[in-house]
Amino acid sequence: MKLEQCSLNPAVAASVVDAHIRLAEDGAVIINSIGPDVEDACGLAYQLFGDEALAVPPAARVFDGGEMDNKGPGIDHTTRLAAHTDGFGYGDFYPDYTLLDCVNASDAGGESFLIDGYELPEALNTGPATAWVPNAMAEVAVNQTEEGMQASVSPIVQYTATGRRWCAKR
């Protein structure tokens, strides 16, 4: 199975209202021209969710090998990274949505992709070699706590009190 079979291809929103609708329908959306500052990213969250926003944590700035993101040796903007998640530093208190504001476009590399966390277990369930994975994703607690960060120990697939399935951003 290829991950491309399960990945999202988010649409580019024409406005914040359009972004809100597309996010609700598709689970991901691209919004151009957010702005480069921390205030711009947080402001977008309040514009996007309005009164539905219970909290918007401070933006976590990420720099090439600095502040909150330390890159390994030999890794630069052209290095393809394996599937990973952003926002796990919040631990089990992570937000419902993660906004990624890219300030500088790269001339080469810098591509991003999303994996549909709802479709992935379904796709894994169809293959005989991977049919066990969806149950494990919902039953096995995974410790991904980083040193000095919030505790992050829970299954990847969980259910809210109302029965809605959600996937941990790990």
CA torsion angle 145 151 152 158 (round to 10): 170
pLDDT one-digit tens code per residue, 58-102: 776 666 555 555 566 777 767 777 776 665 566 566 667 777 777
For the cut 60, the answer to whether the pLDDT of residue 29 exceeds it is yes
Q: What is the pLDDT of residues 95-141, one digit of tens each?
A: 677 777 776 666 766 666 667 777 788 888 888 999 999 999 889 98
Over range 51-55, report the average pLDDT. Answer: 82
Partners of residue 67 on adjacent β-strands: 62
Nearest to 97 by CA among 40, 41, 137, 143: 41
Contact by Cβ (8 Å): 144, 158: no
CA nearest neighbour of 116 among 30, 2, 9? 9
Helix/strand/coil for 85: coil
pTM, full prediction: 0.61
In the prediction, which pLDDT does 170 show?
A: 44
3-state secondary structure of 62: strand
Q: Which comes out higher in pLDDT, residue 38 or 59?
A: 38
Helix (H, G, I), strand (E, B) or coil at 157: strand
As beta bridge partners, residue 158 has 166
Token code pair at residue 57: 């944590």
Q: Which long-range contacts (CB under 8 A, 24 or more apart) does 127-130 make?
A: 127/1, 130/1
Task: Supply the DSSP symbol for 68.
Answer: T
